[in-house]
A and B are shown apart, each in its own frame.
Chain A
Amino acid sequence: MSFPITSLIAEHRELGLVVAVLLGFGFGFTLERAGFGQARKLAAQFYFTDMTVFKVMFTSIVTAMLGVLLFSGVGLAELKVVGQSVASATYLWPMLAGGLLLGAGFIISGYCPGTGLVAAASGNLDGVVAIAGVLIGSLGFAEIAELWPAFSTFYLSGDKGQWFLYELLGVPAPVLGLAITAMALAMFIGAEKVEQIMARKGEGEDTAEVSPTARGARRLAFGALAGTAVLTLGTLALPSHPKAAVTKTVATVDQQAFAQRLLDEPWSVRILDLRAEKACKERRIPGSECTPRETVGKLGLAYTAGVKDLVLVDEGKRREVPQAVLQYPGKVMMLEGGFPGWKRYALTPPKAPGPDASAAKREAYQFRAALHAAMLGAKPPAPPPGGTKRYVPKPKKKKGGGCG
């Protein structure tokens, strides 16, 4: 078994949405119980009188980080794969500016978008109003981006791609994990000291643990985090897990099934053209990438989420499939007949069947005629005699973008 469970995104999507509600429930529940449904408690963070926001936030970041590190350490997940599917790419400048602006919005409104939802759910009118503001703001963003080209340019500035701290610092992730945990624990103790000082000045209350259960809970949490961090570091000593021997079978997809898919749901396939660069640049299947055999290794296919199906297009001679492709976590298919097959099927006008042709033949003809027209941008030919339903290809959709 390995994580994440990709079937929840693909074939069991409905179940995945149910899980989404459950996980969201857990998120909302803990936020409320931490006290994040009340603006005053949240805002107190910025006046040093109550550092709960900082404590909860960093404890949860460290906990989740250690969990992923531990699962990766024992080979049940792959740190970088999880990271790539969770995090957005790093755009340095808009993220810096967006952070400053969001921090300003946080102290003005008293909530961040997530805590605003919890506040609204627990009856706080200011939470409802803040969320309304967030809705207006996100529409405003889209409008500003449309009207002001420089803003759109800035939105894409400082593009570093997916970039992780362990790459930036060049240290093994578990070592970094231990360092971050140690730093967090030290900062928690510092935050408690700050609260004590403020309490002595008569502002805010001393939240230094008074009851023995609270003191015990704190000690337990600190101990668990430190212990897990050390344990994670220990996984470095485990023999590295050789990637399971590649036993992936590469299915063959025939031209018609592939063409159907290309027209109906182009977003569900990623097409790699393995032919030589020149041949590919000259003419290729729309939406395919020119990735000559020898460059496939550079795509990092092993580290992608594998949600789309990979379709390989070659010279039609069925040469061996590159090793790098076999490490792709999702499904891999070979286009039958390669590009020459595509040329014969989609780029040459089909022969019209006679008036006595069977319905299946007529339908196949209609599909091919429509495909041919769609590929060459020509007007579709008149339907054959006795034609019933004409196949009209759905308009091609643009691939989805934006941020989750």
Chain B
Amino acid sequence: MERQQQFWNPYVAGVALGLVLCATFLIMGNGLGASGAANRFAVAALQVFAPHHVAQNNKMATLKADRPSLLDNWLVFEVLGVILGGGVAAYTAGRMRPGVSKGPRISVPLRLVFALSGGVLMGIAARLARGCTSGQALSGGAVLSVGSWVFMFAVFGGGYALAYFVRRQWT
């Protein structure tokens, strides 16, 4: 087995990430995001099975309105890039392999249940806050939006408050 490359120094990674973010601001007048595109994928998928239901739901219908296709959107393309970039980075560092990231004290199925339920919470939270850690905390935070900073501290607050109760997952 090829040896894995080490992770980048966090400050170097931070500067690189910041430069990408800044380029996104200046070139596109947009921030980086993840949950917005996820929302679009979800509604687009639902539309295949229950178009009537999508048309009747206020939140989903307004999302549809601006362009004929839900997926014809900046964020969707950006997220495709994220998946591609993450994959290439993992592959070239020798970290591309199927697995589950967890601590030794928890079983794989239970860990997946946790991952799913946490994901559901985040899906709701990201819509409520108009963005997730990428779109709201990172992008909005860097342009000094008040709401984004409130959100960012709340994320850390929520994480630390609950960390003790789910420690068996990780340690």
Contacts and interface: CB of A to CB of B under 8 A. Distances in A.
Contacts of B24: 23, 27
Contacts, number: 606
A139 to B, nearest CB: 5
Contact of B18 (A35, A60, A162, A209): A60
Given A27-B20, A34-B10, A121-B83, A109 B148 contact: no
A67 B18 contact: yes
A134 B112 contact: no
B143 A65 contact: yes
Contacts of A401: 62-63, 65
Interface residues of A, number: 148
Interface in A379-404: 397-404
B55 interface: no
A236 interface: no
B11 A221 contact: yes
Contact of A402 (B59, B80, B83, B101): B59
A121 to B, nearest CB: 4
Main secondary structure of the interface of A (DSSP, over half): helix
A168 interface: yes
Contact of A86 (B59, B93, B140): B140
B29 A37 contact: no
A270 B18 CA distance: 34
Main secondary structure of the interface of B (DSSP, over half): helix
A134 B30 CA distance: 22
A33 B78 CA distance: 18
Given A110-B169, A144-B124, A25 B157 contact: no
Interface in A1-58: 3-6, 8-9, 16-35, 37-41, 43-47, 52, 54-58
19 contacts: A24-B77, A47-B170, A59-B13, A60-B14, A61-B138, A68-B25, A68-B142, A90-B147, A96-B150, A102-B132, A108-B121, A110-B115, A110-B170, A133-B116, A135-B123, A137-B123, A155-B128, A173-B144, A398-B62
B44 to A, nearest CB: 10
Given A117-B34, A118-B86, A60 B147 contact: no
Contacts of A345: none
The 10 residue pairs across chains A and B that have the minimum distance between CB atoms = A137-B123, A133-B119, A24-B81, A59-B14, A63-B18, A103-B158, A109-B118, A99-B154, A98-B129, A28-B85
Interface string B46-75: 100000000001111011011100000011
Contacts of B7: 33-35, 41, 52
A107 to B, nearest CB: 5
B88 A164 contact: no
Given A59-B14, A109-B118, 19 more contacts: A24-B32, A27-B17, A28-B81, A28-B84, A33-B8, A39-B102, A57-B137, A62-B18, A65-B144, A89-B147, A98-B151, A99-B151, A121-B87, A123-B96, A135-B119, A163-B145, A165-B146, A217-B11, A401-B62
Given A55-B10, A130-B118, A85 B146 contact: no
A116 B119 contact: yes
A385 to B, nearest CB: 36
Contacts of A63: 14-15, 17-19, 21-22
Q: Which of A41, A133, A397 has the most CB of B within 10 A?
A: A133
Contacts of B46: 139
B57 A27 contact: no
A63 B23 CA distance: 11
Contacts of B158: 99-104, 106-107
A311 interface: no
A98 B77 CA distance: 25
Most buried by A among B7, B96, B111, B124: B124
A124 B101 contact: yes
Nearest to B133: A112
Contact of B139 (A77, A87, A133): A87
Given A61-B141, A117-B79, A39 B38 contact: no
A195 B142 CA distance: 26
Contacts of A364: none
A122 B116 contact: no
Contacts of B100: 124-126
A391 B60 CA distance: 30
A27 B82 contact: yes
Nearest to A215: B9
Given A122-B96, A123-B99, A34 B17 contact: yes
B163 A87 contact: no
